[in-house]
Amino acid sequence: MDELITMLKMKEITRTAKGDYKRLCKADLIVIDDIMLFPVEKATAVTLFNFINQLYEKTSFIITTNKKPAEWAEMLGDEVLATALLDRLLYRCEIINLSGKSYRIQNRKTIFSD
């Protein structure tokens, strides 16, 4: 997610970010890992919303998050913006809810053993 945010912020400033942005706008699939893991500033959230709003009807998204949709408003600091963003992302979607122990932690038992 950090790379996406950086690219969105820089797309009007650097040629590389502008090229990356154009490639993403033509993509059939965009994967955003750990969306809303950390709080997002309002201006950044608006930029992310505008990007997703531009693409949600013509591009597929795969997102991963540890936050419930209700927690997104808290992370964004704006309930209306969170609702609008979720509305776009959940449009014609399939939600897969995973539960259980972390695969990474499970395979590192020696580090966390007593």
Residue 66 clears pLDDT 70, i.e. is over it: yes
Please answer whether residues 76 and 45 qualify as being in contact, where contact means their C-beta atoms are separated by less than 8 angstroms. Answer: yes
60 - beta bridge partners?
Answer: 29
What percentage of residues in the chain have a pLDDT greater than 70? Answer: 92
d(C-alpha 51, C-alpha 25), whole Å? 9
Both tokens assigned to 45? 């959230």
pLDDT class of 6 with cuts at 50, 70, 90 = very high
Residue 69 clears pLDDT 60, i.e. is over it: yes
Question: pTM above the 0.95 mark?
Answer: no
Residue 114 clears pLDDT 60, i.e. is over it: no
Residue 8, number of CB atoms within 10 A of its CB: 18
- Is the CATH number 3.40.50.920 carried by domain 2-112? no
Tell which residue, 97, 72, 68, 71, has the closest CA to residue 85.
72
pLDDT single digits (tens) 81-106: 999 999 999 999 999 988 877 777 77
What are the structural domain ranges in the chain?
2-112
